[in-house]
Amino acid sequence: MPLLHVTDMSHNFGGLQAVSNYNLSLDPGQITGLIGPNGAGKTTIFNLITGIYRPTKGSVTFDGEEIVGQKPNQTSAMGLARTFQEMKLWRHMTVMEHIKMARYSKFTYGLLGAFLDTPNRRRQESDATDLAMEYLKMFAVDQFADQLVVNLPYGAQRRVEMARAMVIEPKVLLLDEPTVGMTPDEMMAMIDVVRQAHERFNLAIFLIEHRLRVVQELCQHVQALVFGKVLVEGSPDEVQNHPKVIEAYIGEQEVSF
Amino acid sequence: MDETLAPKKAGGVFSRADQLFKPVPLLGYLFGFFACVIWEQFIGDGLASVLGLPKMPVLFGLVTIFKVLAGIVSLLIKGNAFDWTTLVHIPAAVAYFFVVYLAPLTLVARATANLANGIARALQKFPLIVSALIQLGLMYSILHIWAEMSDYRLITLKLTLVAVLFTLSLNIINGYMGEFSCSHPGFMAIGAYMSSLFTVGLFANDKVLGEAVFTFSGAYLTFPLALLFGGLMASLGALIIAIPSFKTRGDYLAIISLAFLFIVKSFFENMQALGGSRGIAGQPDWSTLPVIFITVAFGVWMINNFVTSTMGKALNAVRDDETAAEAMTVNTRKTKMTAFMFGAFWAGVAGGLLAHVLRYVNPAMFSIQKLAEVLAMVYFGGLNSVYGSIVGAVSISLLGEALRPLEILKWIVIPLLLILVMIYRPTGLIAFKEFDTRQVFGPKEMD
């Protein structure tokens, strides 16, 4: 039984068929990559799985449970965490506050605790702080704990975002272009971060990436998406050298000439 | 800490004053102010007559100064006669302020800094509540002694405290949550009317609301219930706005809440059973200074608890990036609804207090002007900050009183000031600063 199972999922924005008959099956501990040219619908697939959009048709099951129609806060609380291509960090919040925020669904002190500062709330908040500190150390950003996240260097911001997703204790992690805009050194460091998280938590990862190097390093299985359809899937080498994939990428370049 | 930074250039007066007051904890300032108000008791009247002032200045000499300025303005605009001898009042008021407030405050606060730090440090061994109660008690007695000197001071102080609570409750929505709500005077109106309905309807003989239902001597003990009732009805009103506005994102809340404000106002205007446009009068005199002080302190404490919890910080996450907040397990809809209703609750409580300070309530009090005033307090003081709301509410209230002699010009000066703040500090004077009660009531540790 796969952990994340998508069958025949389609979505259209008005008349535009953004995703058609998409299938995915992700087992525990597996890393699958999703590649494709710009506008192929990769991020849309993430948004459909996590519940930001509701698919026009098809089903998504997570851990054996149908999750179509669930809100993003529900799917994430179930253990389906994600990151964003543009990071989406909260500009007025500190690094520590970012990590604690992702524990939102685990707090049980309720309104009474929020309004009255009960001992129960104090205990839960300080436990969360301790846990958050562990995660900050794990991703080597603990020295920034009390700083506003906008003041951090880019690579550190990326790691904060990873830590924020990981503190949810997800079973599946969806990574949307984690190395975009990075130098080759930063990229290699990020690959290590992802690999360590994967090994440590036996995490299933579904990864959108433009850079084939990253896909080759991390993934056992790759899908190539063009115009909302999976063109080819298989091992990284197979997909990368497939004539249709090359055509899709090169074809895109020809247009721009 | 052995962080020995080289002292900054002690050039300006402000940086020197900053250095001077750096080691003074809150308790030290309280000692200073306490000395001031006691000192004024003894020498206030005498000093005023020596300085040639007609009577003791009520608001730190501000009103005295602006009264003279208003005379000059009216000479220039309308050609009214101006008594040039009153010009002397300006330096006299400044001298009064210096002798009665500034000098004793500086001396006592600075001289007792070590002692105050020692006491604050000793109090840290007890739970925070002990230290907080002692310092709040001292603060209350200062305000009490100060306000006892004149009725004008008392009412100004009461209205200022109510304004602090009202401003802070709006800051939850406009600052912490980052939505723009215009309905706050409407919530205040609901709170004012509903608590008046409770007190006047049940415990007072009134032409509109009929004979008293109950008459017993301890009736004032039910006042918290009246405030609670007013607050809860206001948050019920908030629920009506929240359901349609928080389904989608955008400017909907601003528009819907503005409409709500007008609906509430015309509802009370046309509701003859609640006195129509003349409103309800004859509220019992239950909004005494201690009641207001305790309610406002409790309200500030509770709001601060909320915004410093992770539940409350979720508001900031929603404001800065709602999609990310939702993806990080935050129930954004519940967060927004809770905050909106919580803010409305405290606006309702502030309304209940206001109605019983003024001892009347009518729909005209809750117009667009009230909205402008509270927005000015929130944005002047600073968004997303408890300090900011306190500073904003106190300074705009005092300024409003001080500029009262200028009459209509007041509404040119205050907006002008607001524009200047918006240009130089777009988020307000003290924005995005966390109010840490432990730090506020604790000693000032020097580096």
A255: tokens are 């247009």
Contact predicate A241/A54, CB 8 Å: no
Residues whose CB is less than 8 angstroms from the CB of residue A240 and which lie 6 or more positions away in sequence, other chains included: A212, A215, A216, A222
What distance separates the 2 farthest-apart alpha carbons in chain A? 66
Task: Grade residue A75 by pLDDT with cuts at 50, 70 and 90.
Answer: very high
A128 vs B217, residue with greater confidence: A128
> Phi/psi at B357 (nearest 5 deg)?
-75, -50
Q: Which chain B residues touch A115 with a CB distance below 8 Å?
A: 302, 305-306, 342
Contact predicate B374/B354, CB 8 Å: no
Q: Provide, rounded to the nearest whole percent, the portion of chain B with pLDDT above 70.
A: 96
| Helices (H) then strands (E): counts for chain A | 10, 10
Residues of chain B with pLDDT under 70: 1-11, 248-250, 446-447
Pairing between strand A4-13 and A57-62? antiparallel
As a whole number of angstroms, the distance between CA B325 and CA B358 comes to 43
DSSP B206: B
As a whole number of angstroms, the distance between CA B155 and CA B160 comes to 8
Task: Report CB contact under 8 Å: A92, B311.
Answer: no
Chain region(s) in chain A for CATH 3.40.50.300:
1-79+170-257
Give A88-138 as a DSSP string: ---TTSBHHHHHHHTTGGG---HHHHHHH--HHHHHHHHHHHHHHHHHHHH
Query: What Rg do the C-alpha atoms of chain B give, in angstroms?
Result: 23
**Which pLDDT tens digit goes with each residue over A144-192?**
999 999 999 999 999 999 999 999 999 999 999 999 888 999 899 999 9
**Which pLDDT tens digit goes with each residue over A87-124?**
999 999 999 999 999 999 999 999 999 999 999 999 99
* pLDDT at position A37 over 90: no
What distance separates the 2 farthest-apart alpha carbons in chain B? 72
**Which pLDDT tens digit goes with each residue over A26-35?**
999 999 999 9
Task: Report CB contact under 8 Å: A93, B320.
Answer: yes
Q: Mind listing the domains of chain B with CATH numbers?
A: 15-127 (no CATH), 150-441 (1.10.3470)
Preferred mutation among A83, A100, A104 to probe B, highest tally of B CBs within 10 A:
A104
CA-wise closest residue to A93 among B432, B339, B18: B432
Distance, CA of A238 to chain centre: 24
Mean pLDDT, residues A228-246 taken together? 89
Alpha helix positions (H), B204-331? 223-245, 252-270, 289-308, 310-320, 322-327
As a whole number of angstroms, the distance between CA B364 and CA B349 comes to 19
Side chain identity, residue A201 = F
Contact predicate B345/B234, CB 8 Å: yes
Q: Which chain B residues touch A107 with a CB distance below 8 Å?
A: 310-311
Q: What is the ipTM of this complex?
A: 0.92
pTM of the predicted model as reported, rounded to 2 decimal places: 0.92
Q: Which chain B residues touch A77 with a CB distance below 8 Å?
A: 329
Amino acid A56: pLDDT: 93
Q: What angle do CA B272, B273, B277 make, to 5 degrees?
A: 40
- Nearest-Cα distance to chain A for B219, in Å, is 28
- Nearest-Cα distance to chain A for B304, in Å, is 8
Distance, CA of B264 to chain centre: 23
Contact predicate A187/A213, CB 8 Å: yes
Q: Which chain A residues touch B332 with a CB distance below 8 Å?
A: 73
CA-wise closest residue to B38 among B142, B178, B139, B122: B142
Query: For chain A, what is the mean pLDDT?
Result: 91
Amino acid A243: pLDDT: 87
Q: What angle do CA B391, B395, B398 make, to 5 degrees?
A: 145
Distance, CA of B344 to chain centre: 16
CATH 1.10.3720.10 fits domain A1-79+170-257: no
Amino acid B5: pLDDT: 43
Of B305, B323, B327, the CB nearest to A117: B305
Amino acid B407: pLDDT: 76
Amino acid A254: pLDDT: 46
Residue with tokens 């600075």: B110
Contact predicate B277/B364, CB 8 Å: yes
* A195 CB burial (10 A radius; 0-12, 13-18, 19+): middle
As a whole number of angstroms, the distance between CA B398 and CA B389 comes to 14
Amino acid B249: pLDDT: 66
Interface membership of B227 toward A (CB under 8 Å): no
Amino acid A96: pLDDT: 97
As a whole number of angstroms, the distance between CA B400 and CA B163 comes to 12
Task: Report CB contact under 8 Å: A76, B328.
Answer: yes
Of B314, B338, B384, the CB nearest to A104: B314
* pLDDT at position A253 over 60: no
CA distances from B18 to A133, B10, B11, B24 (A): 35, 10, 11, 10
Residue A31 bridge partners (DSSP): A205
Task: Report CB contact under 8 Å: A72, B310.
Answer: no
Task: Grade residue A257 by pLDDT with cuts at 50, 70 and 90.
Answer: very low
Task: Report CB contact under 8 Å: B328, A104.
Answer: yes
